[in-house]
A and B are shown apart, each in its own frame.
Chain A
Amino acid sequence: MQFGIFTVGDLTTDPTNGSTPSEHERIKNILTIAQKVEEVGLDVFALGEHHNPPFVPSSPTTMLGYIAAKTDRIILSTSTTLITTNDPVKIAEDYAMLQNIADGRVDLMMGRGNTGPVYPWFGKDIREGIPLAIENYALLHRLWREDYVDWQGKFRTPLQGFQSTPRPLDGVPPFVWHGSIRSPEIAEQAAYYGDGFFANNIFWPKEHYMRLIGYYRERFEHYGHGTASQAIVGLGGQAFMRKNSQDAVNEFRPYFDEAPVYGHGPSLEEFTEQTPLTVGSPQQVIDRYAGMRDHFGDYQRQLFLMDHAGLPLKTVLEQLDILGAEVVPALRKEFATNRPANVPDGPTHAALVAARAAAASASSAPATSASVSSASASSASPEVSALSANEVRS
């Protein structure tokens, strides 16, 4: 089980004092927050990608490359990488480069983006968001797995004999999550490839995501990547903590009331009841998130949104201290309790390399175990199923 944070990188005025950081300050703050993630013992830092104010991270691999140099252990991820408006060729190159620089500590979460004008600014049409996500990822998937690619599609110019460089580290592409709020097409896509599915559930009631994740798990099994309980699931979360829960509520409320997305809508009390947002003591956060697997099944990655709505850097770093010192250690214990042995751990480069080696040796010898037969049973995409041979990874 992996724990981390994800940021959208919004530049928002602090409603308690009216101050707004400069773009430069916000960018540097995000870099500081990422390093803090490693310092407090979390596993993942995921960075958003946006091309419109008030968001600053338009160039994620530049920022993640810096963080790679400043950290040794955490996985650098995205939340999300715009598979619709980016050229998949450039994604293949940028993230293979980052993966090499970071010695494999890289994965990605694909997302479509829901800001209408960004599509035409990048020469695309938001009404084709799903077809773009499907076709662009199909090309990206090949670029990381085939040395020379001949390709023709609808949304970009054809490729003849193209090789994306650098090649993925150790010949193993970065793990990919597909993020979705509501589209079954994206759950289907994630299931087809045996990739991870990240349900960004922080704004909506859990029942919707229980159904959507259930669908992904069922289709993951359908495509032969393992059982439904072995599908790779990530969830969002949101918390604000102080030792005394009323202090947390009092301090967070002005940020909540003015926050982008949900500000001026439901009350803090309504929103915390309906969504994973938990404002209170560390123990309240532990209790809330320990219960997530009762709703969604045992899962692989929990990311928290901690640094939005104009919260000052100092406060965010304090929150990460609490998260790392009190909440996540308790949650690690909770999630480890009674976790079935065949439920995979969160994906890492080392595990993917090991899984590929195991699959290779299995294919050169008679099948002798359940994991081998599960990996070789999927004729639809054998290479992918080998990468997600979950019994091997766990």
Chain B
Amino acid sequence: MTAFEGGNSGETRVTRRIAVISAGLSQPSSTRLLADRIAQATVRRLVELGVDATVDVVELRDTAQDVTNNMLTGFANHKLEAVIESVTSADGLIAVTPIFTTSYSGLFKSFIDVLDPQSLTDMPVLIAATGGSERHSLALDYAIRPLFSYLHASTVPTAVYAASSDWGTGADAATSSLPERIERAAGELAAQVRDSDRSSRVQDPFALPAGFSPIGAYGAQ
């Protein structure tokens, strides 16, 4: 940490780490494009809050085989393990998936499925999706938001959906523009990430459950 210049004396400038998962399949992908826009906006909002942020982007396509092998064998190979670690130990997560057949893509869900179900507890999450048509935008709220609720993540209120047409549309009387939605969601995420201590936590993989006794409640004697 470096001393904060100006402002309140004694305040230090803090650093946070954001993970981005992009489940787009094509290269280049509009899902990755949306993910990058959201990440840049979030970093900018954090800077305004006095927080420096680094960003780790995971293209799930690059781990597709490893995720499948993990599902079949029960273990993550070294490459996937490093990816999982970078995601689950971040201060905030930007999760972006294409909408396939009314929901998240299979690859996106497969990656979530190989995570430890406890590993995203209290993670600040911004959910976003891309699709060909505006008509699938509610998939974010009926499919993706419940997924992260189940995992006890802290999902920000604004989810960002980008249909193909959004890349060429401004705001009108009925809707905000894509940049406006990105900005609002990024502001919500930045506020949570600023207060997160997840990336500096020490994880004990052998922590026993509270009250655990090796002889059980009734005792060996």
Contacts and interface: CB of A to CB of B under 8 A. Distances in A.
A264 B68 CA distance: 10
A131 B216 contact: yes
A258 to B, nearest CB: 13
B220 A142 contact: yes
A193 B220 CA distance: 10
Contacts of A151: 218
A381 B220 CA distance: 9
A153 B213 CA distance: 14
B74 A188 contact: no
A96 B219 CA distance: 22
Contact of A203 (B74, B213, B217): B74
A208 B74 CA distance: 13
A256 interface: no
Given A185-B208, A266-B69, A205 B218 contact: no
B6 interface: no
A187 B214 CA distance: 9
Interface string A142-186: 100000000111100000000000000000000000000000110
B28 interface: no
Given A184-B206, A185-B212, A265-B72, A274 B77 contact: yes
Given A184-B205, A188-B214, A141 B77 contact: no
B168 interface: no
B69 A192 contact: no
A355 B5 CA distance: 69
B78 interface: yes
B67 to A, nearest CB: 11
Interface in B77-123: 77-78
Contact of B216 (A134, A212, A265): A134
A381 B213 CA distance: 14
Nearest to B221: A142
B75 interface: yes
B206 to A, nearest CB: 4
Interface string B174-189: 0000000000000000
Nearest to A135: B216
Given A141-B220, A192-B215, A261 B209 contact: no
A294 interface: no
Contact of B218 (A153, A262, A263, A270): A153
Interface residues of B, number: 23
Chain A interface size, as a band, is: 35 or more
A218 to B, nearest CB: 9
Contacts of B208: 184-185, 188
Interface in A202-238: 203-205, 208, 211-212, 215
A211 B205 contact: yes
A138 B220 CA distance: 5
Interface string B190-221: 00000000000000011111001111111111
B214 A266 contact: no
A272 B72 CA distance: 16
Interface in A257-300: 261-266, 270-271, 274
Nearest to A223: B214
B77 A265 contact: no
A99 interface: no
B169 interface: no
Nearest to A384: B220
A266 B215 contact: no
Interface string A298-332: 00000000000000000000000000000000000
Contact of A193 (B68, B212, B214, B219): B214
A146 to B, nearest CB: 9
B73 interface: yes
B120 to A, nearest CB: 19
Contact of A264 (B72, B209, B219): B72
Contacts of A211: 205-206
A138 B219 contact: yes
6 contacts: A134-B215, A135-B216, A188-B214, A189-B214, A211-B206, A262-B72
Given A152-B218, A271-B73, 15 more contacts: A134-B216, A135-B217, A153-B216, A153-B217, A184-B205, A188-B208, A188-B212, A188-B214, A191-B214, A203-B74, A203-B75, A262-B72, A263-B72, A265-B72, A266-B69
